[in-house]
């Protein structure tokens, strides 16, 4: 209960501070999208997960088709316990290979790892996906709103025998321009690896409270009996 109260207080604070900035969604929940940032744009996100942990991720558009970023995980950030920080082993990267065409999706690939050293790996991906991914994103018009479908492959290139190979599927259903339902299945194994990962179904809502502000509330691994709750706040600014 105290952890939930701390999360809500931090969320309220960040909503007030970053209300005047612009933001793009780079993921559904865990599943990446093929979209990148415009050249010179900086996006910052705060992913608040179980027990008061936070993953901060800064992503910067090197060009309209290439972004780089740095994820920084802080366990117990909103807690009375000491903070444990996972230093990223490599920058996050995403390259958009093609743009949207009339009947074809947009394709991209990238790498993301908020977990740092191996002893901090977790089977339950409350901090996001880990590894090299290839993704396709296709806009779909439903109920006069632009929704989308996403799908791709994820491979743990750092330790394939441990992390394995999996696929992910997901999408966004737009109820209005400002309210979206996001859903995804991730970790669907093609090769489980020694960690023996299992698929996870995640569900959430994303709210565009202003052009500048993106708030997501999500549930990770709905069918495990004890799903994790995630709050994500993202904002951005054009540097040049």
| Closest by Cα among 33, 188, 39 to 106 | 33
- pTM value is 0.84
DSSP state of 19: T
DSSP element (H, E) containing 228: strand 228-238
Q: For residue range 173-229, list pLDDT tens digits in order.
A: 999 989 999 999 998 988 877 777 788 999 999 998 777 678 999 999 998 878 889
170: which 2 tokens? 């997901």
Which residue in 163, 154, 151, 223 sits closest to 192, CA to CA?
A: 163
Summarize pLDDT for 51-68 with one digit per residue, the tens. 888 999 999 999 999 999
Q: What is the mean pLDDT of residues 15-41?
A: 76
Q: CA triplet 55, 120, 154: central angle to 5 degrees?
A: 75
Please compute the mean of the pLDDT values over residues 120-135 and round it to a whole number: 77
Token digits for 203?
Answer: 């569900």
Q: Please state which CATH class domain 2-238 belongs to.
A: mainly beta
pLDDT of residue 210: 72
- The per-residue b/e assignment along 38-52, b for 16 or more CB within 10 angstroms, e otherwise, is ebebbbbbbbbbbeb
User: Is 84 a residue whose pLDDT tops 90?
Assistant: no
Mean pLDDT in residue range 102-125: 75
What's the average model confidence in pLDDT over 36-55?
91
Mean pLDDT, rounded, of the chain: 83
- Of 49, 34, 238, 14, which Cα lies nearest the Cα of 125? 49
Structure tokens given for 97 = 């290979």
Task: Please determine, for residue 79, whether its predicted confidence score (pLDDT) is greater than 90.
Answer: no
Q: What average pLDDT score do residues 75-97 get?
A: 85
The pLDDT of residue 225 is 79
N-to-C CA span, the chain: 43
Q: Which two tokens stand for residue 79?
A: 């807690």
Structure tokens given for 85: 């920080």
The ranges assigned to domains in the chain are: 2-238
223-227 CB contacts, 8 Å cutoff, 24+ apart: 224/124, 224/200
What are the pLDDT digits (tens) for 165-185?
999 999 999 999 899 999 999
Q: Residue 46 pLDDT more than 90?
A: yes
Q: What percent of the chain has pLDDT over 90?
A: 45
Query: For residues 81 and 12, which has the higher predicted lDDT (pLDDT)?
Result: 81
Tokens standing for residue 124: 């339950």
Higher-scoring residue by pLDDT: 67, 6: 67
* More confident call, 174 vs 90: 174
Q: Is residue 55 a contact partner of residue 72, using CB atoms and an 8 Å limit?
A: yes
**Phi, psi dihedral angles at 162 (to 5 degrees):** -90, -45
Name the DSSP letter for residue 32: B
For residue 115, give the 3-state DSSP assignment.
Answer: coil
Identify the weakest region by mean pLDDT among 31-45, 140-154, 208-222.
Answer: 208-222
């Amino acid at each position: 209960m105290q952890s939930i109260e701390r999360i809500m207080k931090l969320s309220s604070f960040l909503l007030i501070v970053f209300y005047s900035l612009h933001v793009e969604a780079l993921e559904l929940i865990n599943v990446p999208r093929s979209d990148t940032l415009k050249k010179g744009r900086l996006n910052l996100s705060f992913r608040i997960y179980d027990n008061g942990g936070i993953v901060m991720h800064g992503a910067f558009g090197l060009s309209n088709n290439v972004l780089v970023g740095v994820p920084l995980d802080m366990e117990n950030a909103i807690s009375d316990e000491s903070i444990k920080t996972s230093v990223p082993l490599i920058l996050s990267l995403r390259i958009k290979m093609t743009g949207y065409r009339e009947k074809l999706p947009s394709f991209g690939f990238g790498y993301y790892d908020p977990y740092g050293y191996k002893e901090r790996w977790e089977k339950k991906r409350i901090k996001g996906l880990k590894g090299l991914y290839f993704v396709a994103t296709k806009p779909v018009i439903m109920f006069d709103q632009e929704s989308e479908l996403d799908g791709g492959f994820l491979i743990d290139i750092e330790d394939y025998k441990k992390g394995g190979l999996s696929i992910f599927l997901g999408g966004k259903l737009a109820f209005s321009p400002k309210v979206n339902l996001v859903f995804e299945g991730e970790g669907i194994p093609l090769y489980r690896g020694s960690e023996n990962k299992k698929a996870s179904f995640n569900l959430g809502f994303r709210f565009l409270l202003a052009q500048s502000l993106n708030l997501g509330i999500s549930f990770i691994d709905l069918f495990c009996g004890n799903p994790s709750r995630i709050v994500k706040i993202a904002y951005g600014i054009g540097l040049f």
